[in-house]
Amino acid sequence: MKPTAHFRLAIPALAAVFLSTVGAAAQPLAWSDPQAYPNNSFFRDVMPEPEQAVPDDDEVIQQSPAVRERFRRQTVAYNTTEAAGTIIIDTPNTYLYYVLGGGRAIRYGIGVGRDGFTWAGVQSIARKQEWPDWHPPAEMIARQPYLPRMMAGGPGNPLGARAMYLGNSLYRIHGTNAPDTIGQRVSSGCIRLTNEDVTDLFNRVSVGTKVVVLPDHGRRTPVASVETRPVPPTVRAPAVSYQPAQAPVYSGSSVSRIY
């Protein structure tokens, strides 16, 4: 057979080998992991960053060093006629008590409403939410039109890690992304705790838990004594009726500090 004939027969075989090699080595145009793009790839410039999921609690729910020692969660002696499982908000002293019974309670430091925004009465927890979305009420938007109409739940949300909604009022017991405001009067009437503390309280209460908000008469009483006894198991409180409160008018500049 002539050399040219051998060459013509070899061309298809060589082409088949080449095409099979290319197919095996081919890669998809876009990787499933954006971080796998080469540093000099234009895909890093045009592909969006992946959305951030709500982080694990262990990553974001921790006691902030910004909270003063006397506002840290602790078991204290506390005499009250309220039943075990009741929440009592001591507005003048910026404390929240979860009644254990037997003359004891768990005390949490809180932030309360600023002057003109404090309120008093009896409510009950109507709803509980983890990493709640924030929907500023119409009254707040009317006063502060620059506020977002909705903010998704997460570490940057002013409601923090947990929220407990009080009756059909505008008020909540919630976490905060500004722990340095614990012990202060900065909100529009809601009660705030650190994310760690609100998570602890959230796990102890149920829908229907009674919430007693004491009036702020500008007087401070001596704080309850601290005990070292361990906290007993959670006691549930029965559902009770509530008395809606009216929200006063306030103009502020920081979402995290006013709500």
Catalytically annotated residues: 174, 190
Q: Is 241 helix (H, G, I), strand (E, B) or coil?
A: coil
Which amino acid appears at position 98 of this protein?
Y
Task: Report, in angstroms and rounded to the nearest whole number, the Rg of the chain calculated over CA atoms.
Answer: 29
Closest by CA to 193, choosing from 225, 226, 161, is 161
Count the Cβ atoms, other than its own, within 10 Å of residue 252: 17
Calculate ∠ Cα 6-12-18, nearest 5°: 125
The DSSP bridge pattern shows strands 172-174 and 191-192 to be: parallel
Residues linked to residue 192 through DSSP beta bridges, in sequence order: 111, 174
Count the Cβ atoms, other than its own, within 10 Å of residue 63: 13
Closest by CA to 131, choosing from 151, 156, 160, is 160
CA dihedral of 224, 228, 232, 238, whole degrees rounded to 10: 10
Helix (H) or strand (E) run with residue 53 in it: none
Distance, CA of 189 to CA of 114 (rounded, Å): 7
Burial letters for 106-139: b for 16+ Cβ neighbours within 10 Å, e otherwise? bbbbbbbbbeebbbebbbbbbebeebbebebeee
